[in-house]
Structure 1
Amino acid sequence: MSRAEHSTGEALVGLLESYGVDTIFGIPGVHNVEMYRALPRSKINHVLVRHEQGAGFMADGYARATGKPGVCFTITGPGLTNIMTPLGQSWSDSSPVFCISSALDITDSAQGRGRLHEMQSQLGAAQTITDLTVRAYTPQDVRDGVARAFSAFASRRPRPAYLELPLDLLKYPSGPGWTAHKTPKLPQADADQIREAATLLSNAKSPLVLLGGGAQGAGMAALAIAEKLGAPILTTTAGKGTAPGDHPLCLGYRLASASGRKLLQEADVILCAGSELSETDFWESGFHLSKGLIRIDLDPMVLARPHAAEIAILADAASALDCILAALPAADHSARRKASEKKIADILSAEPAEDDALRKMLRQVLAVIRANLPRETVIASDMTQIAYAANEIFPVYEPRTWLHPVGFGTLGFALPAGIGAKFGTPDKPVAVMIGDYGIQYTINELGTAAEHKLPLIILMWNNDALGQIRDDMVNKGIQPNAVTLINPDFQALAKAYRCNAEKPDSLKSLAEAIGRALKADGPTLIEMTPRMLNG
């Protein structure tokens, strides 16, 4: 609890600590220094980033890898506008990020007087990409705003929250009452709906389990249901790792491929947990599931659109799936399971024959990466050709180990998200999968990784182009333009940031480089090029 003579800015830090916050990502500035006054005597680890965009992506990566809220501090005006892109990504991908920003004085906000960092409506800007926005006017507003944010994180679809603290308020005496509130629990499924869902599944001829990012904590129950029913498992990109990618019933993410669509169309009952089933899951806005759909989600609006559910269960995926598993009657579905496993195996074995030249090349590179990274490695990926291929063909074995910017589709996500993930899961290996263009959006965060000696494995695919955009232009009959660039010397640039750097000339040397990076005392940039396959 804060003493009454402490400032509101000081008391804020103690309150965050009482809610279990152990890491904050941010940059101190003239407008938010009062938020930093108490940090030296706090147990919270503050990570100084190189840009507010990095702070937002690190908080997102921390949240995705741990399941706990990621917290970031920023300043009035440009601090907020710089962090809005990461907040948009976390909003789109249901990631619990808490952004706390300074703002102009209560008495002088948005009056057009030319104040430093002035915006017409800072709160209005934040409202476009957050689920909760609070402007505090009193110390109690700050306490209530923090309580509302953690209450939302604990009990509903996780999305970013924003708390705005005027400069003069940060200096006010805090007063008493700075203790964490008990947070509510996630909603539990209706018992009648559970029985209805179990009956529908038990009577199904060809059931299927579909897992999204909201099922990351429900993998064991989902897998047990699939095994009991002999049902295949599909995931969204955000759902990768909910079930082990090498389980014989798991096809992983194939919603955009003919094989995955065929499985969905053949299923008479689909148990879908924790996914809004969006355009960026199917990469086709007109694809709809219309029969035998059981949906479990924390968001009632998701249950209403765009796919009509036969049973719509508003509940936490983990507890709902546990209940469905318990309600399923005993039955022998061993023949169906054997048939499902064969179907999955046949799909996977047939896929390489359908590869174009690019996918064939990337499949070889990804196979080497997968073989040399431990199963538990957390991988933050970017909007880049190698990650698009990996979304489908790169198996992930554990929950919260595949972090991809799905909905908002933000370039530059992977490097800072990987840094945030490493702070959140220091005992796990963490790798970054990124392209030569995307890394330049946030390459300054190499300094953050090097400063903290994070053994981050940065796998950068360098094709000296915006490769995916170039290929899209060709496919659409557009003469490629504005898609080639002069890249920096990435090896020299990484070393300038005091990082290790390697440029393998063969797949064998790529494997060796990954092995060294896993043991390194600091980050390693591994620059991969198509020429490796000729080595």
Structure 2
Amino acid sequence: MSRAEHSTGEALVGLLESYGTDTIFGIPGVHNVEMYRALPRSKIKHVLVRHEQGAGFMADGYARASGKPGVCFTITGPGLTNIMTPLGQAWSDSSPVLCISSALDIADSAQGRGRLHEMQNQLGAAATITNLAVRAYTPQDVRDGVARAFSAFASMRPRPAYLELPLDLLKVPAGKGWTTHRTPKLPQAPADQIKEAAERLAKAKSPVILLGGGALGAGKAALAIAEKLGAPIITTTAGKGAVPGTHPLCLGYRLAQPSGQKLLREADVVLCAGSELSETDFWDSGFILDQGLIRIDLDPMTLARPHAADIAILADAAEALEAIARSLSAADHSGRRKAAEKSIAATLAAEAAEDSELRKVLRKVLAVIRDALPPETVIASDMTQIAYAANEIFPVFEPRSWLHPVGFGTLGFALPAGIGAKFGCPDKPVAVMIGDYGIQYTINELGTAAEHKLPLVILMWNNDALGQIRDDMVNKGIQPNAVTLVNPDFQALAKAYRCGAEKPESLKGLAQAIGRALKADGPTLIEMTPRMLNG
């Protein structure tokens, strides 16, 4: 793509392809058609979504499941505002998404002339939820903007990047120089800090390992440390799957539970890798780890707040944990390991006895789902009661197999994120776990899934209400209001989108429906209700 007669819009597609982009999610519009001119002769697959929000969530799901940057195209003004919610989710959950948008002509930008899709400050809006926001004025700016985005994805905490191209720039001859730049590597931990961390862990009497989303690629090293030390592992929601959920040293996500917080309080050393340790991890903004904390993260700001680390290591979690594992001596901690495994087993066994009535129901349903889905299934979940329970009690066995909208907490994430995950990992089964209210935020993307014949297993929990909000109102002494709704006929709606649809009457029927959905030649909406337990 070095010939001058190619436009900047055409050259952009070739450059993305050379950076390894194989899929773009988006909608062509009058303001971005020049970005589509070269797509028919490119190897890149374009996925036509039904709403820009779907494009953003699909790019996010693609990135989370595959580990590669997700790319989406949008248009000036409303296209950007529609996609800002997914970009906010990607920002809070550290997902590498590149959003490329058109913008008004350079001469018309924010001049108040009543141009189509005009905003006062489109770039400023995007900058609030991206790590990098660039407005291009020349072809070189486009090349540099793409290079900066992929450089950041390769070497920093992964967060969304935004590039906007004025309409008149898209038509300008591209000129030469449309080649990829070599991307930098992730930072490596200083040897003296690795030595200090290993020595601190070796002397610890009750060490604990805490893994966040930034440690999804570090599970093998984390397990090596845990097994050498006889230390329990606890994860954030984003860290689910870093180590197999059924490993005897893995407590899983329990940071919001008294058992998990007690484990951390009683530890004399906590080795934390790849986590903000935020309010949405503990669901308690007042929980602070203030002693014995060894922290590994790619973000220097995360290392500084709000928990004070005794050792703060700016590095890739996998590289740092591997170095620590190599530095630990082969001391005999078999007694401590047996005690930790026994304590974890007892904690998990005792949980069921303390279940609320709702949790008892959900535990039974989730057990059936877990048994019916292959262990490698990628599951995109939503902000819904069944997923909140699953965050804690639903084991996953591989990294990048549990996709949940943790920080921003957006409804409607799961369906388009699951679609994106399937494009990112076409050889893996993909399921969606969503509620009857949340699915209606992005239910139009059933059309996208059906068009591409994606065998998604869409598990929709239908309680005909905003169940969690209703329960919160009751707990706070508020008379429940605005929490019940008249739902559509989901079975008919799914079929109208040319999807399969099932409404099992029993748990056995649920398992059978999942089995059929896994073999289908398109998506299947499986409508689950509490009544299944009576079937």
Structure-1 residue corresponding to 2:33: 33
2:333 partner letter: H
CA positional deviation for 1:186: 0.3
1:150 and 2:156 equivalent? no
- Give the whole-Å Cα distance in 2 for the aligned partners of 1:534 and 1:433: 21
Structure-1 residue corresponding to 2:87: 87
Structure-2 residue corresponding to 1:521: 521
* Mapping for residues 34-73 of structure 1, pairs under 5 Å: 34-73=34-73
Structure-1 residue corresponding to 2:306: 306
Local SS of the residue matching 1:501: strand
Residues 487-519 of structure 1: per-residue CA shift (max 9 Å, x gap):
000000000000000000000000000000010
- Give the whole-Å Cα distance in 2 for the aligned partners of 1:173 and 1:529: 58
1:337 and 2:328 equivalent? no
More deviation, 325-334/160-169:
325-334
- Give the whole-Å Cα distance in 2 for the aligned partners of 1:258 and 1:369: 27
2:109 partner letter: S
2:245 partner letter: G
CA positional deviation for 1:329: 1.2
Structure-2 residue corresponding to 1:114: 114
Structure-1 residue corresponding to 2:277: 277
Local SS of the residue matching 2:107: helix
Question: Contact (CA 8 Å) 1:2, 1:14: kept in 2 or not?
Answer: no
Structure-1 residue corresponding to 2:428: 428
Structure-1 residue corresponding to 2:470: 470
CA positional deviation for 1:266: 1.0
- Give the whole-Å Cα distance in 1 for the aligned partners of 2:353 and 2:88: 38
Local SS of the residue matching 1:6: coil
CA positional deviation for 1:4: 1.2
1:446 and 2:446 equivalent? yes
CA positional deviation for 1:424: 0.2
CA positional deviation for 1:3: 1.4
2:255 partner letter: L
Structure-1 residue corresponding to 2:20: 20
Residues 202-245 of structure 1: per-residue CA shift (max 9 Å, x gap):
00000000000000111110111101110000000000000100
1:198 partner letter: A
2:110 partner letter: A
Structure-2 residue corresponding to 1:134: 134
Structure-2 residue corresponding to 1:251: 251
- Give the whole-Å Cα distance in 1 for the aligned partners of 2:465 and 2:488: 12
Percent identical across equivalent pairs?
87
Structure-2 residue corresponding to 1:530: 530
- Give the whole-Å Cα distance in 2 for the aligned partners of 1:330 and 1:490: 58
Question: Contact (CA 8 Å) 1:72, 1:99: kept in 2 or not?
Answer: yes
* Mapping for residues 306-385 of structure 1, pairs under 5 Å: 306-385=306-385
1:392 and 2:392 equivalent? yes
Residues 85-119 of structure 1: per-residue CA shift (max 9 Å, x gap):
00000000000000000000011111000000000
Local SS of the residue matching 1:481: coil
CA positional deviation for 1:2: 3.1
1:196 partner letter: E
- Give the whole-Å Cα distance in 2 for the aligned partners of 1:365 and 1:71: 35
Structure-1 residue corresponding to 2:174: 174
2:25 partner letter: F
- Give the whole-Å Cα distance in 1 for the aligned partners of 2:364 and 2:199: 44
Structure-2 residue corresponding to 1:159: 159
* Mapping for residues 396-415 of structure 1, pairs under 5 Å: 396-415=396-415
Residues 41-64 of structure 1: per-residue CA shift (max 9 Å, x gap):
000000000000000000000000
- Give the whole-Å Cα distance in 2 for the aligned partners of 1:189 and 1:152: 18
2:383 partner letter: M
- Give the whole-Å Cα distance in 1 for the aligned partners of 2:259 and 2:374: 28
CA positional deviation for 1:463: 0.0
- Give the whole-Å Cα distance in 1 for the aligned partners of 2:230 and 2:61: 34
1:393 partner letter: I
- Give the whole-Å Cα distance in 2 for the aligned partners of 1:2 and 1:424: 29
CA positional deviation for 1:263: 0.6
Residues 419-465 of structure 1: per-residue CA shift (max 9 Å, x gap):
00000000000000000000000000000000000000000000000
1:437 partner letter: Y
* Mapping for residues 91-110 of structure 1, pairs under 5 Å: 91-110=91-110
Question: Contact (CA 8 Å) 1:429, 1:456: kept in 2 or not?
Answer: yes
**TM superposition score normalised by structure 2:** 1.00
Structure-2 residue corresponding to 1:213: 213
Question: Contact (CA 8 Å) 1:152, 1:158: kept in 2 or not?
Answer: yes
1:501 and 2:501 equivalent? yes
- Give the whole-Å Cα distance in 1 for the aligned partners of 2:330 and 2:521: 52
Residues 355-403 of structure 1: per-residue CA shift (max 9 Å, x gap):
0100000000000000110110000000000000000000011000000
2:72 partner letter: C
1:260 partner letter: G
CA positional deviation for 1:291: 1.2
Local SS of the residue matching 1:107: coil
1:285 partner letter: S
- Give the whole-Å Cα distance in 2 for the aligned partners of 1:390 and 1:224: 27
- Give the whole-Å Cα distance in 2 for the aligned partners of 1:523 and 1:3: 43
2:412 partner letter: G
2:480 partner letter: P
2:250 partner letter: C
- Give the whole-Å Cα distance in 2 for the aligned partners of 1:153 and 1:183: 9
Local SS of the residue matching 2:332: coil
2:481 partner letter: N
Q: RMSD in angstroms over aligned alpha carbons?
A: 0.4
1:492 and 2:489 equivalent? no
- Count of residues paired in the alignment: 535
Structure-1 residue corresponding to 2:265: 265
1:461 and 2:456 equivalent? no
The ranges of structure 1 where at least 4 consecutive aligned residues each deviate by more than 2 angstroms after the TM superposition are none
Local SS of the residue matching 1:106: coil
1:478 partner letter: I
Local SS of the residue matching 2:349: helix
- Give the whole-Å Cα distance in 1 for the aligned partners of 2:6 and 2:302: 44
Structure-1 residue corresponding to 2:187: 187
CA positional deviation for 1:466: 0.1
- Give the whole-Å Cα distance in 1 for the aligned partners of 2:7 and 2:113: 27
Local SS of the residue matching 2:163: strand
Residues 110-147 of structure 1: per-residue CA shift (max 9 Å, x gap):
10000000000000000100000000000000000000
- Give the whole-Å Cα distance in 1 for the aligned partners of 2:339 and 2:249: 10
- Give the whole-Å Cα distance in 1 for the aligned partners of 2:225 and 2:241: 16
CA positional deviation for 1:153: 0.3
Structure-1 residue corresponding to 2:75: 75
- Give the whole-Å Cα distance in 2 for the aligned partners of 1:408 and 1:390: 18
CA positional deviation for 1:330: 1.5
Unaligned runs of 5+ in 1: none
1:95 partner letter: S
CA positional deviation for 1:473: 0.2
Unaligned runs of 5+ in 2: none
Question: Contact (CA 8 Å) 1:418, 1:430: kept in 2 or not?
Answer: yes
